[in-house]
Amino acid sequence: MLRPEISSTSPSAPAASQSSPEPWSQGPRYSFGLQATPQSLPSAKASASTPWGTSGAAGDRSSSSSLLGPVPTALPAPRAPGSYFENKKNPFASNFNFGTSSSSARDNNYPQTLKTPLSAGNPQRSGYKSWTPQIGYSATSSSAVSVHSPSVIVAVVEGRGLARGEIGMASIDLKSPQIILSQFADNTTYAKVITKLKILSPLEIIMSNTACVVGNSTKLFTLITENFKNVNFTTVQRKYFNETKGLEYIEQLCIAEFSTVLMEVQSKYYCLAAVAALLKYVEFIQNSVYAPKSLKICFQGSEQTAMIDSSSAQNLELLVNNQDSRNNHTLFGVLNYTKTPGGSRRLRSNILEPLVDIETINMRLDCVQELLQDEELFFGLQSVIARFLDTEQLLSVLVQIPKQDTVNAAESKITNLIYLKHTLELVDPLKIALENCNTPLLRAYYGSLEDKRFGIILEKIKTVINDDARYMKGCLNMRTQKCYAVRSNINEFLDIARRTYTEIVDDIAGMISQLAEKYSLPLRTSFSSARGFFIQMTIDCAALPNDQLPSEFIKISKVKNSYSFTSADLIKMNERCQESLREIYHMTYMVVCKLLSEIYEHIHCLYKLSDTVSMLDMLLSFAHACTLSDYVRPEFTDTLAIKQGWHPILERISVDKPVANNTYITEGSNFLIITGPNMSGKSTYLKQIALCQIMAQIGSYVPAEYSSFRIAEQIFTRISTDDDIETNSSTFMKEMKEIAYILHNVNDKSLILIDELGRGTNTEEGIGICYAVCEYLLSLKAFTLFATHFLELCHIDVLYPNVENMHFEVQHVKNTSRNKETILYTYKLSKGFTEEKNYGLKAAEVSSLPPSIVSDAKEITTQITRQILQYQRSTPEMERQRAVYHLATRLVQTARNSRLDPDSLRTYLSNLKKKYEADFPKAEQVLERTEEE
């Protein structure tokens, strides 16, 4: 079998020699502890001084049960014919040999010792070593791993020649056995690639070596490395990006339920090439292959979800707070009441990629509504969901076949079989919780749980695994569960090894008890995964002769008022214990492998279970968020209408409820210009609209009294975040890049938020740039909110009837004691543009500037303003056209969306006619003013 020749580097890693240790000799490069929830962890009884649950009182001869914690009852296996009961020979005489290759899933001749040679054809990179940080966690260590720690490896390839700009991507999450394929056309900015990679948050990115030759690297490679400086980057020879091999991999590995992906990707050569290189590389670094027909493989087109670029996600604080990345004052923090890692991951991905299909969104909203109305359903589901482990990661471990059978691999498989049993035992409680639900989506999830394969797998497991083997807290407790997981009488040598292990543990407890009697000290037995069994003693309870421990005790450490130490005899007994444990794991692993080989054909149902659990968890989280605030169910029309909406993140931060405001945008009035002084609430209002739009499109209720949304296929923001005058130059360049990106990618279904464009340059140029951008966006049907300090822009409504002017009100309060005027911010949005003209001059007036200078500034400003306004007055014809335009758009909107009864509709149309007739006197007034002048 060919093996990929790779060159790997992180931009932050220094150059090093090639003499790095072979990753295969150390097992998989990446390993992640299974994510658990507090409710899924039964706690074992333990004394306060021994958190491992392994304490023994001084002077007592502790039995193995007190040291080992709860031991699964060693029930005999049922005497039914099967492969588990026929092989009674010594296991060590079999072909099973730890440390050698045993996998035959693809190739039995895979070399055991491999180098990682640098990518051929790229000699310039020979200074780099094959370097990726080892992420090592024990199989039972769940707290050490963050739910959202990077675990995705992505392969990216670009077409050449005439196909340049055609991108193929394939990604696999090492915590979830799912491959996502994408192929799309991108422009020269590669905005889609960068956005998609930001959403995936990769652990490692691999590309062809021909794309990143020093001095001749492609633009795509340069942009990726600039935007992902903290991500590991690896080059693989171009020959491994083979579309034929990629199609073969999909045929071999994709489970039957998702085999339709073959038809979707058959002609998509670049994503097939990417998946070929990806799977070869993952096999190489993880030292394992995936079992045949075990992976969920799907193709994701860019049209299935709304696009939010990485800059907008940052501006809106969807996942990370801009002031403090550690706090949860984000949209994710507002909505995240999930109980499982899978639910949390699903919520994160939905926030970054909201849905665009109205039917799917409404099905989710129906579920949330039922959960809010049925308390029994809500609390019943929540209690069951909270007990699930990380089902996706469990699946990922189960479907991987290690190329080398090591002790760690054996321990991991045994552990994950116990996790699988724990998960399957929760299917029936979940069915019971869902049996009285009514909405179609919840009924569909209930139906998926009736799959008979869940029962088949659980029965097969129970023929081998003890009924009371379960997942527990504490390394010793979990070790005990693994040792005694397999029923007795299945393998007589395993039974003997377990008795030996129990005797050794009893001897350890007895020896420590004798030492306590010998020295009259309150010694107790403790355990840690690093030290094994050791001795602890509290100083307060003992008077040491000469303040020293007996010379028999070694490796002494003191923490506060507690001593920890061991003895030479205890070290030897720990070694015997470890040797016995390895034998137990070896023989248990043989039984487990046979069991797993039988249940692989049924394991596909776990994909549905994983999807069901994560989706239910997210929907419960939405319902939970609604119970804490007065959110309302959104509707979907062709209008963006929000009655008394407020900012969801600001609500969490503020002591008082934020000021609520209305929003109304239609195709006839699709461009809102928002003015107001600094700190009046413009930026907060813009963010509020986008956050409510995202919440609605992921199936959540929104913070408002009423809300209606038009589906947004893209959400763009250009929001100012830096008020430092010294950075004006860089600020201007940044906002020009962001606005250029918007103009290149905008369509009629976009939502655009622009805040203070042009502030980084002088006033004349800023107004000119804003005016040109506004005119371009006004030619589209996109919904645009444009906040600005340039009041000159407000008069663009004379030329474009689809422009609406809005402003944030402020009140002037006179301080009689100081004879000065202060501004009171109301944060209320009103029609028209702000009357707070020249508020910069007002700020100067209350400063220490000389009065003569302020007076001159006012006079000059008045003259300039008078000259500008001469060219911006409306004509009577313009006013008439504006009135006709507004009437027509309201009539079209009524025809599309009205749900009024006939009488109410007549009343509404009559009022509309009166408003239209009232607009004509305004046009006549304009004519009279013009004639007077």
In a domain, 20, yes or no: no
pLDDT class for 202, splitting at 50, 70, 90? Answer: very high
756 shares its domain with 662 = yes
665/667 Cα distance (integer angstroms)? 7
Q: Are residues 561 and 578 in the same domain?
A: yes
For residue 476, what pLDDT band results from cuts at 50, 70 and 90?
Answer: confident
* Residue bearing the bigger pLDDT, 22 or 267: 267
**Residue 21 included in any domain:** no
**How many CB atoms neighbour CB 316 within 10 A?**
24
700: tokens are 């959540």
In this structure, the answer to whether residues 133 and 174 fall within a common structural domain is yes
Closest of 798, 767, 796 to residue 784, by C-alpha: 796
Is residue 31 in some structural domain? no
* Sheet of 176-185, strands arranged across: 6-9, 232-236, 204-208, 152-158, 166-173, 176-185, 296-299
Residues 119 and 78 in one domain: no
- Show the DSSP H helices in 190-268 as ranges: 191-200, 219-227, 243-253, 261-265
Task: Supply the pLDDT for residue 601.
Answer: 83
DSSP lists the bridge partners of residue 532 as 528
User: Rounded to two decimals, what is the model's pTM?
Assistant: 0.76
Q: How confident is the model at residue 768 (pLDDT cuts 50, 70, 90)?
A: confident
- pLDDT tens digits along 394-452: 888 888 888 777 888 888 888 888 899 999 999 999 999 999 999 999 999 999 999 99
Considering the domain architecture, whether residues 506 and 597 belong to the same structural domain is answered as yes
Return the half-sphere exposure (C-beta side, CA atoms, 13 A cut-off) of residue 41.
20
Same domain (yes/no): 439, 511: yes
For residue 499, pLDDT over 50 is answered with yes
62: CATH: 1.10.1420.10
Considering the domain architecture, whether residues 619 and 635 belong to the same structural domain is answered as no
Greater confidence (76 vs 389) lies with 389
544 and 616 co-located in one domain: yes
The pLDDT of residue 141: 35
Q: Is the pLDDT of residue 830 over 50?
A: yes
Q: Give the separation between CA 109 and CA 305, rounded to whole angstroms.
A: 44
| Residue with tokens 């119970």, as numbered in its chain | 627
Do 273 and 394 lie in a common domain? no
Predicted confidence (pLDDT) per residue in 696-742, tens digit: 999 999 999 999 999 999 999 988 655 444 344 467 777 888 888 88
Say if residue 639 is in the same domain as residue 597. Answer: no
Q: Is residue 28 part of a domain?
A: no
The answer as to whether 550 is a domain residue is yes
To the nearest whole number, what is the mean pLDDT of the chain?
79
Residues 6+ apart with CB under 8 A from 375: none
Backbone angles phi, psi at 296, to 5 degrees: -90, 120
Q: Using a pLDDT cut of 90, give the percent of the chain over it.
A: 37
Query: For the segment 61-108, what is each residue's pLDDT rounded down to a tens digit?
Result: 333 445 666 666 655 544 343 333 333 333 333 333 333 333 334 443
Q: Are 51 and 143 in contact (CB under 8 A)?
A: no
What CATH number is associated with residue 182? 3.30.420.110
Decide if pLDDT at 369 tops 80.
yes
Other Cβ atoms within 10 Å of 528 Cβ, number = 14
Buried b (16+ CB within 10 A) or exposed e, 266-304: eebbbbbbbbbbbbbbbbbbbbbbbbbbbbbbebbebee
Out of 589, 609, 628, pick the residue that ends a domain: 628
> Is residue 129 in some structural domain?
yes
| 40: nearest Cα among 445, 340, 337 | 340
How many independent structural domains does the chain possess? 4
Structure tokens at 545: 């002769």
Beta bridge partners of residue 113, listed in sequence order = none
pLDDT-derived band at 680, boundaries 50, 70, 90: confident
Domain end residue (candidates: 604, 628, 652): 628
Cβ count within 10 A of residue 813: 10
State CA 448 to chain mean position distance: 25
Give yes or no: residues 374 and 518 share one domain: yes
Q: Quote the pLDDT of residue 53.
A: 35
From 89-98, 212-221, 681-690, 780-789, the region with the lowest mean pLDDT:
89-98
Q: Same structural domain for residues 648 and 700?
A: yes
Residue 876 lies in a domain: no
Q: How far apart are CA 747 and CA 714, in angstroms?
A: 8
DSSP single-letter state for residue 140: T
Q: What is the CATH number of the domain that holds 666?
A: 3.40.50.300
248-257, 367-376, 924-933: which has the highest mean pLDDT?
A: 367-376
pLDDT of 422: 92
Residue 271's domain comprises 6-14+114-290
Average pLDDT over residues 786-796: 87
Digit-coded pLDDT (tens) for 616-669: 999 999 999 999 999 999 999 999 999 999 999 999 888 888 999 999 999 889
End position of a domain, from candidates 808, 836, 864: 836
- Cα 279 vs. chain centroid, distance in angstroms? 23
Residue 330 in any domain: the answer is no
